[in-house]
Homo-oligomer: A and B are copies of this chain.
Amino acid sequence: MENKPVETTYYHLKRCPVELALEVIGGKWRIPILWKLSDAKTVRYNELKRSISGITNTMLTRSLQDLERHGLVKRIEYSEVPPHVEYSLTDTCQRLIPALKIINEWGKSI
């Protein structure tokens, strides 16, 4: 058996998990989006937009794409006219919701 390839620079093994997580859920809109998605099974694009005060199409779209790419959000498109798209949290992301609940409670007291 040959020698296994040397492990090259696996930065992610050294990086702080909190910082890694923040790369995925950080930014101005992602946590608010996740939080809104967390109290409904599925949410439509415009419903999401209305419920998150101040967010623009640009940022909502981009944030949802980022979250989807990282596997936190599921996007289901129904082939209808007019278009119909439902967003929901993945199981991976569900495990994060308890943290958001704590933050929410904490936020009430400040």
Q: A residues engaging B (CB < 8 A)?
A: 16-22, 24-26, 28, 31-32, 35, 53, 70, 92, 95-96, 98-100, 102-110
Q: Are B110 and A70 in contact (CB under 8 A)?
A: yes
What distance in Å separates the Cβ of A51 from its nearest Cβ neighbour in chain B? 9
Copy total for this chain: 2
Chain A interface main SS type: helix
Q: Which of A16, A95, A105, A106 has the most CB of B within 10 A?
A: A106
Q: Are A21 and B103 in contact (CB under 8 A)?
A: yes
Q: Are A103 and B107 in contact (CB under 8 A)?
A: no
B-chain residues with CB within 8 Å of residue A24 when the two chains form the complex: 110
Cα A35 to Cα B98 in complex, Å, equals 17
